[in-house]
Amino acid sequence: MLVIAGLGNPGARYARNRHNIGFMGVEAIAAAHRFGPFRTRFSGLASEGLIGGERVLLLAPQTFMNESGRSVGEALRFHKLDTGALTVLHDELDLAPAKVRVKAGGGNAGHNGLRSISAHVGNDYRRLRLGIGHPGDKAMVHNYVLSDFAKSEMGWVDAVCRAVADAAPLLVEGRDASFQNKVHLALEAAGFGEKASS
């Protein structure tokens, strides 16, 4: 079994925040691959299903971002999995909007959700980095990630979530380069490729 965890903060107040694009990605994967309804488990909302013949647990921790590791740790321990079975979808300030990158291990770049997960389960998991851009000033980061996507941004946000969901079988197979390429081509076709955002 594999665990794909999307990060965000629980509750309607945060639902459209930039910080919650991980939740949005996991919801898109669930819809595209006909997972059952999310149920309360592992201090989060969880749904099990099949992607490309592999059993996958989708998880949206409901612990608030800073405690994401508690939920992810519970799920991994329950299923007796190590960090190699975990992929985490999260917002990434250091990537331009509509950029998507996969990275295994590495630092947490100040992301409190990743820091919590690394503290609970170790660092050797895959990160699916969903670019949201940077406000330009470190002092503005907190308010920026906790503010809603503007209406004008929802086009690329939806396109990113759809592209990630469509390419999820490649992610599950561990074909990270192919996954990135498929997502990139889908975003380019939707008008959100390198040229559109540069």
Task: Return the active site residues.
Answer: 19
Nearest CA to 98 among 10, 172, 25?
Answer: 25
Rounded to the nearest 5 degrees, what angle is found at the Cα of 63, between the Cα atoms of 62 and 65? 100
Strands 39-41 and 44-51, how do they pair? antiparallel
Strands 100-104 and 126-131, how do they pair? antiparallel
Helix orientation angle between 154-172 and 21-32, rounded to the nearest 10 degrees: 60
Nearest CA to 68 among 12, 131, 26, 13?
Answer: 26
CA 181/CA 177 separation, integer angstroms: 6
Q: How many CB atoms lie within 10 A of CB 193?
A: 16
